[in-house]
Amino acid sequence: MKAYQIEIEILESEPLIWRRVIMPAGATFNRLHDVIQNVFNFNSGYPRDAYHLFDFDLSEDNIRVTNDEEAYQEYLQFKKNRREIEARLKAMNSEFAEQQLQNLKTVIRKPTGIKIDTYLEKHGQIHYVYDYGDDWRIIVRLEEVVEDYHYGYPTFIDGAEVAPPEDVGGLPGFFEFLKVYYDEIHSEHGEIKAWAKEQGFREYDPEHIKMCMKFLKYKKTEWDKIEHNNFIPVD
């Protein structure tokens, strides 16, 4: 089975927070979102519910892939009434109206309805933004196309550094969080530890990530069936 070996990095993190994963071809952008969420400490991917907005920037193809329902409905409204909206915005004759028109011309796609293959292979990388408040900017880089992958789910291979918890305040907030979290004599250490637990924060744990990947199945392969038939339950 065809698959992609990808490296996922949190931009501007120092030291660099990164993960390497192999995922079968044919994944939607929503499944790529699930992979990113599960290899880091974020809480908005399967099997959990959506927690924050996100988008994939395919600006070279004039496409934005997002779970922002408001943006999607606005785009549909523009498609339906394009001439009227274009005329109104052009009549305003302002930089703001011009920018708004350009934004409306960007095709908005839902992440469940478009697959990554064409764009990953064409551009070699995809930019992803998660949580517009904390503004996590992440890049997915294609390292290798794998032609003989056996599993219907992604496989975690490697990575480095602990990932940030939700709602920590972006990179500046994360670095401050780490100082307090690891300083047992800090006056707010206990409070931060309790908050981190509530947020689902955990240390970098490759075995946990490997287990999470197995829940992200989107293809059933003969290898999966063999694995299932050879599985012996433990009492």
pLDDT surpasses 60 at 233: no
In this structure, what token pair is assigned to residue 62? 């004039």
pLDDT surpasses 60 at 230: no
What is the model's pLDDT at position 219?
65
pLDDT surpasses 60 at 222: no
Max CA separation in the chain (angstroms): 72
How far is it, in rounded angstroms, from Cα 121 to Cα 104?
A: 27
Domain boundaries, the chain: 1-59+111-163+205-228, 68-109, 164-203
pLDDT, one tens digit per residue, over 137-151 is 999 999 999 999 999
Average pLDDT (45-67) is 92
Q: Give yes or no for a contact between 155 and 213, defined as CB atoms under 8 angstroms apart.
A: yes
Average pLDDT (17-38) is 97
For 1-59+111-163+205-228, the fitting CATH number among 3.40.640.10, 1.10.1060.10, 3.30.1360.170, 3.10.290.30 is 3.10.290.30
pLDDT, one tens digit per residue, over 179-220 is 999 999 999 999 999 999 999 999 999 999 999 999 998 765
How far is it, in rounded angstroms, from Cα 4 to Cα 115?
A: 13
What is the model's pLDDT at position 145?
98
Q: Give yes or no for a contact between 153 and 147, defined as CB atoms under 8 angstroms apart.
A: no
Q: Give yes or no for a contact between 10 and 136, defined as CB atoms under 8 angstroms apart.
A: yes
Q: How many CB atoms lie within 10 A of CB 83?
A: 7
At residue 101 the predicted structure's pLDDT band, cuts being 50, 70 and 90, is confident
Mean pLDDT of the chain: 91
Place of tokens 């939700």: 166
Gyration radius of the chain over CA positions: 21
Q: Give yes or no for a contact between 4 and 141, defined as CB atoms under 8 angstroms apart.
A: no
pLDDT surpasses 50 at 229: no
